[in-house]
Structure 1
Amino acid sequence: MAKKPRFFKPTAARAKRPLPGKPLEADILNFSHDLRGVARVEERPVFIDGALPGERVRFSYSERRARFDEGRLLEVIEAADTRCAPRCAHSDTCGGCALQHLQPAAQIAEKAQMLLDQLSRIGAVAVPEVLPPLVGEEFGYRRKARIGIRLQGPKRGATRGAKPGANTGSASTPVIGFRAKASNELVDIRECPVLPPAVADQIPALRALVAESEGRAHFTHLEVAVGEDAAALVLRHTQPLDAADRQRWLSFAADTGLHLYLQPGEAASAQRVWPASGVERLEYRLPQFDLTLRFHPLDFVQVNFAVNRQMVARAVALLDPQPQERVLDLFCGLGNFTLPLARRAAQVVGVEGEGALTARAEENAAANGIDNVRFVTADLSVDMRRHRWAEGGFHKVLLDPPRAGAIEVLPQLARLRPQRIVYISCNPSTLARDAGELAQLGYRLRSAGVMDMFPHTAHVESIAVFEPA
C-alpha cells in the first residue's frame, strides 16, 4: 500500500459532520460490541450509552463519524423489562461501570451472546458446546482498582452544558474518582459499591485526607489492592511528601488498618510505610487446591476472587491434566493456574514475560511446597523450540494472554501439537481472531463460555477449549 504524503491534508469528506440541533426519538434495536444501545436513524447506526434493546428513547447527537453516529441518552420513553435502578449514584457519569441499569442475569446473557457472535463473525467458528456462565457477587467484588486524583478547575465555558457529575469546582478543590464515560476527566466519587467495603467505606475519609494534604497537587492516583487477609493503598506522588503529610497518611493507615505504600513517581518502586514490619504481600486462597498465593499490591491479579476460584477449577477440569503429563502455562503471571495444574500433572512449565511476576510465582511455589513446576521469563515471540524448557514437548497447554491475544504464539503451539489447549480470554474479539487462526492450524473449538469477572462493565471474560481436528 502506498504511503500517504507527509503533509496529508484531510479532504472535505473527512471533515466532521454537523450535529443536529434538536433531540430525536428512536427505537433501540440491539447492543453494539461494547454494549451500547444501537438505533438506526436515516439508515445510519447510532450508538447510545445507557439505552437497552427494546426501548424507545429520546437522545441528542454527541458525535457523527464516518460509519456511525453517537448519541447521549436524554430520556427513556418506553423501558425494557430488563432495566433496573442502578445502585451507584455515579452510574450515569462514571466510566467504571457501564451496565448497572441492566439486570445482572441479562448482563450475562448479553455477554454470552456477544462471545458467540464474535466467534462466528470474526473467527468463522461455531461453538459445539456452550459452557454455563460462572458468576459471583454483583457488588463488592473488585479487588484491584486505580482511583485518580486531580486538582482540576472548570475550563472556560465548561459549566455551560457540562455533564452531570463532571467537576466544575475551583482549582484548589481535589477530585478523586474514576474517569468519566468517553472522557479523560474524573468523576468526583462519594461512593463505589463495586469496591470491597474495606476500601469503599473509607472513600469519604480519603477525600478529606487528600484535601488536607499540602502536597495534594503532586498526587496522581491511588492504587487499590485488596487481599483476603488485608487491604492496601499505594499513593503515587511526583514530589516527596513533607513530614506533616507523611504523618497524616500514616495516621490514616493506622486508624483504618489499610496497608500504606508510597510510590514517588511512575518508574519508582512502591515502599510500604505502614505497617512497618512484616512481608510486603497480600494473599488470596484457592481452597480446592490447598493453595495460598501471595502478591504485591502492584502485581497483576484477577480482580474478582470468587469468580477466579471457579475459573481456575473449570480450567483445570477442562484441561484434565493426568499424573504422567507435562503441561505448559503461557502468560502464567504469579502462578494462578500453574500451581493448581501442578497438583494434578507430572510437571508444569510456566512462562511469563515479566520477571517480577516470575519471581513471585517461584515464591508462591516454594511457600506451597510445590516442586514439580518451573517458571521461566521469556520472550514468547521467539520460537519456543529454541528454549531448553520446551524440550520434550507438552501434552496440554493453558493460555491466559493479555487483551491483544496470542496470535504470535499460536503457530509455535501448533508445532508442539498439544492434545488440548484451554484459552482464557479478556477480549472476545481477539479470542475469536485466534480461534480462526487455530482452525487454520488444525485445531477445532470444542466448547466456550463466559465468566462474569467484571459485573456491570462491558468487559467479557471467557474460556475456550481447542483440540486437534
Structure 2
Amino acid sequence: MSEKIEIAPAVSPDWLSVESLNLDAQGVARRPDGKVVFIDGALPFEQVTASAYRKKNNWEQAHLTAIHVESSQRVQPGCPHFGLHAGACGGCKMQHLHSAAQVAVKQRVLEDNLWHLGKVKPETILRPIEGPAWAYRYRARLSVRYVVKKGEVLVGFHERKSRYVADMRVCPVLPEHVSRMLLPLRALIASMDARDTVPQIELACGDTVTAMVLRHLEPLSSTDIERLRAFAAEQGVQWWLQSKGPDTVRLLDTDGPTLSYALPEFDITMPFKPTDFTQVNPHINRVLVARALRLLSVQAHERVIDWFCGLGNFTLPLATQGREVLGIEGSEALVARSRENYDLNQALALDGKALAATSFVARNLFEMTPEMLVQDGAADKWLVDPPREGAFALAKALADIEQARIGAEGAPPLPPGAKDWTPPSRIVYVSCNPATLARDAGLLVHLAGYRCTAAGMINMFPHTAHVESMAVFERP
C-alpha cells in the first residue's frame, strides 16, 4: 500500500509506528531518519519494536519483537500452524488480520496499481466479491517428504520462507474432510515401499469427487497400489497417478465417477482433470462468473470472444446468452477439453435451450498481432481472463489498430481488413495480478480509446496476499 496514514508519534524512541501493510503482510514503518522498515507480523496503527535482519541503504526488513499498542483489526489466527515461529506454515500470510481488513488492503492494492502503474482511475469501484474465509481451497499442491531422522512422513505446504515441508496436522483453509485426511495421508505414505520417491500430492476437489494425483518418481509396487486402493475406499478419494509430466496423469481405476463442478445459474456442468487449471475457490468462482456476465451484458444478437478461455469456465455460460461465441486458449489440451465440455452441455441443454454456436481455437496469445486480431473477426463484447502475465499482446494489438486509425505519429499501418473491423464495445477483464492488469488498462484507456468504467477486487484466496480483480472497459 502506498497511501500514507497519519499516526501519532511513537511513545518511546525505540518504538516504531506502523503506517500500512504491504502484500507480503509486512507492516510498513519509518525510522526517525526516514528509513523504511518492513516488519513481519506487524499491522497498521500498531506501536511495535522490531529487530532488523536485512539492511539496505533506504530500507530494512525486521522481525517483530514486541507489540506495545495493538491494532483493533488484529485477530487470533484460525490455524495452529500459522505464525512467525520456526516451522510455521507458509501457506497463509494474513491470518492475524481481520478478514474485512484483508479485503480493504487488497482493494487498495488494486486501486494503487491501476493509478501508479497505468494512470487509470475506475469511474466506479465495485463491491468486493467475498465468500467463506475457511475450507475454501479446493485445489492445492501438497509437498511430501520422508524425514529419515524423524522416521516419519510430512505432507503439506512449505514452511514460511523455507524449502522444508511444514509439520502440518490440520489445514483450516482446505475442505474439512481433506484437513482431517492429512494425518492418514502421512501414515499411508510412511507405509509404502515408495515413501522415498513420492514428492507431491496434487489435490483437486469437484462437487462430489475428491481427486488426488500422486507424483511418483519410480514405478509403484503392486503392494503400494493395493495400499492406495484401500485408502481410497476408506477415505472416499479418487487416486490418479503421475509418473512424469502432466501428460502422464491417469486414473488408478477407470470405473470411478467424473470429476466436475457446476455453474447452476447457467445450467452448466464442467468436467475436468485434476491437473487442469480450475479456480481454487468454487464458491467465489460461481459469483465471479455471474458478475462478469452481468457486467458484460451480452445480448442475444451479439458475438463474443472469450480470450484465454481455458476449459470454458466463462465460454459456456456466455453461450447461454449470445448469438455466437469464440473461445481462444493457448493449450491444445484445454481446447480439446473445452470442445468436449461444450458438446456435453449441448446434449444436456434443458427445455430446448441449446447453446449458441461456439468454436474453440488454440493459439499463443502472448504473440498476438493486429493482423491476427482482425482475422478472428469483429465481436461485440470481449471476456479476457489471462494468467499472471496478463494480456499485453492482446491489448497492444487493439491499441495499435486504434492508433493507426486516428493517424497517430509512429503508428503501424492498418492490417488488411481492418477498415471494416470494429473493436468490441465492452471488455470485462478478469485478473489474477493487479500489476499486469494496470499495465494493460493503461494501453486500453490511453491508446485504444476505452474508459475504465468499473473495477473491484475478488477475494479468491482469503488469508493470503493473492489479489484477484475485475475491470470493465467501454468505448464511448
Report the TM-score when normalising by structure 2. 0.86
Deviation at 1:400, TM superposition (A): 0.4
Partner of 2:362: 377
- Alignment map for 1:47-196 (pairs within 5 Å): 47-65=38-56, 67-92=58-83, 93-152=88-147, 170=149, 172-196=151-175
Contact 2:79 2:172 in 1 (8 A): yes
Contact 2:241 2:252 in 1 (8 A): yes
Q: Is the deviation greater in 48-57 or in 133-142?
A: 48-57
Note if 1:199 corresponds to 2:206.
Answer: no
Partner of 1:230: 209
Indicate how the Cα distance of structure 1 residues 354 and 67 shifts in structure 2: closer, same or farther if over 3 A, else same.
farther
Cα RMSD of the aligned pairs, angstroms, is 1.8
| Structure 2 unaligned blocks of 5 or more | 1-13, 347-354, 402-421
Q: Is the deviation greater in 363-372 or in 259-268?
A: 259-268
Q: What is the aligned length? A: 427
426, 433, 436: which one aligns with 1:427: 433
Q: AA paired with 1:118?
A: N
Deviation at 1:198, TM superposition (A): 2.6
| Structure 1 unaligned blocks of 5 or more | 1-23, 154-169
Aligned counterparts of 2:439 and 2:41: Cα–Cα separation in 1 = 28
Q: AA paired with 1:107?
A: Q
Partner of 2:474: 467
208, 213, 219: which one aligns with 2:187: 208
Aligned counterparts of 2:136 and 2:375: Cα–Cα separation in 1 = 37
Partner of 1:457: 464
Aligned counterparts of 2:287 and 2:34: Cα–Cα separation in 1 = 44
Q: AA paired with 2:225?
A: R
Partner of 2:333: 356
Deviations 1:420-452 (A, max 9, x none): 111001111111111112122221211000111
Deviation at 1:268, TM superposition (A): 5.0
Aligned counterparts of 1:387 and 1:106: Cα–Cα separation in 2 = 41
SS of the aligned residue for 1:408 comes to: helix
Note if 1:403 corresponds to 2:388.
Answer: yes
Contact 1:225 1:233 in 2 (8 A): yes
Deviations 1:75-126 (A, max 9, x none): 3222100010001011112221111111111111111111111111111111
Deviation at 1:45, TM superposition (A): 1.4
Contact 2:89 2:158 in 1 (8 A): yes
Contact 1:198 1:231 in 2 (8 A): no
Deviations 1:257-304 (A, max 9, x none): 100011112355111114x4146x411111111111111011100111
Partner of 1:335: 312
Deviations 1:58-84 (A, max 9, x none): 322222245422122233222100010
Partner of 2:302: 325
Aligned counterparts of 1:447 and 1:262: Cα–Cα separation in 2 = 44
Deviations 1:192-241 (A, max 9, x none): 00111231111110111122222111111100000101101111011111
Partner of 1:264: 243
Deviations 1:339-382 (A, max 9, x none): 11111110110000011111111111111113511111112214
Q: Which has the higher helix share?
A: 2
Deviation at 1:145, TM superposition (A): 0.2
Aligned counterparts of 2:227 and 2:123: Cα–Cα separation in 1 = 58
Paired-residue identity, %: 43
Indicate how the Cα distance of structure 1 residues 307 and 44 shifts in structure 2: closer, same or farther if over 3 A, else same.
same
SS of the aligned residue for 1:462 comes to: strand
Q: AA paired with 1:452?
A: N
Contact 2:322 2:356 in 1 (8 A): no
Aligned counterparts of 2:187 and 2:99: Cα–Cα separation in 1 = 33
Indicate how the Cα distance of structure 1 residues 33 and 140 shifts in structure 2: closer, same or farther if over 3 A, else same.
closer
Contact 1:64 1:70 in 2 (8 A): yes
234, 237, 242: which one aligns with 1:255: 234
Contact 1:88 1:193 in 2 (8 A): yes
Q: AA paired with 1:293?
A: M
Aligned counterparts of 2:208 and 2:152: Cα–Cα separation in 1 = 34
Note if 1:296 corresponds to 2:273.
Answer: yes
SS of the aligned residue for 1:223 comes to: strand
Aligned counterparts of 2:194 and 2:256: Cα–Cα separation in 1 = 28
Contact 2:306 2:382 in 1 (8 A): yes
Contact 2:325 2:356 in 1 (8 A): no
Q: AA paired with 2:460?
A: M
Contact 2:207 2:260 in 1 (8 A): yes
Runs (4+) off by over 4 Å: none
Partner of 2:292: 315
Indicate how the Cα distance of structure 1 residues 236 and 94 shifts in structure 2: closer, same or farther if over 3 A, else same.
same
Indicate how the Cα distance of structure 1 residues 111 and 247 shifts in structure 2: closer, same or farther if over 3 A, else same.
same
Report the TM-score when normalising by structure 1. 0.87
Aligned counterparts of 1:246 and 1:172: Cα–Cα separation in 2 = 22
Contact 1:365 1:371 in 2 (8 A): no
Indicate how the Cα distance of structure 1 residues 261 and 383 shifts in structure 2: closer, same or farther if over 3 A, else same.
same
SS of the aligned residue for 1:204 comes to: helix
Aligned counterparts of 2:300 and 2:375: Cα–Cα separation in 1 = 19
SS of the aligned residue for 1:244 comes to: helix
Indicate how the Cα distance of structure 1 residues 66 and 337 shifts in structure 2: closer, same or farther if over 3 A, else same.
farther
Indicate how the Cα distance of structure 1 residues 268 and 379 shifts in structure 2: closer, same or farther if over 3 A, else same.
closer
Deviation at 1:324, TM superposition (A): 0.8
SS of the aligned residue for 1:335 comes to: coil
Partner of 2:255: 277
Q: AA paired with 1:439?
A: V
Contact 1:321 1:345 in 2 (8 A): yes
Indicate how the Cα distance of structure 1 residues 404 and 216 shifts in structure 2: closer, same or farther if over 3 A, else same.
same
Partner of 1:38: 28
Note if 1:27 corresponds to 2:17.
Answer: yes
Indicate how the Cα distance of structure 1 residues 91 and 246 shifts in structure 2: closer, same or farther if over 3 A, else same.
same
Indicate how the Cα distance of structure 1 residues 385 and 39 shifts in structure 2: closer, same or farther if over 3 A, else same.
same
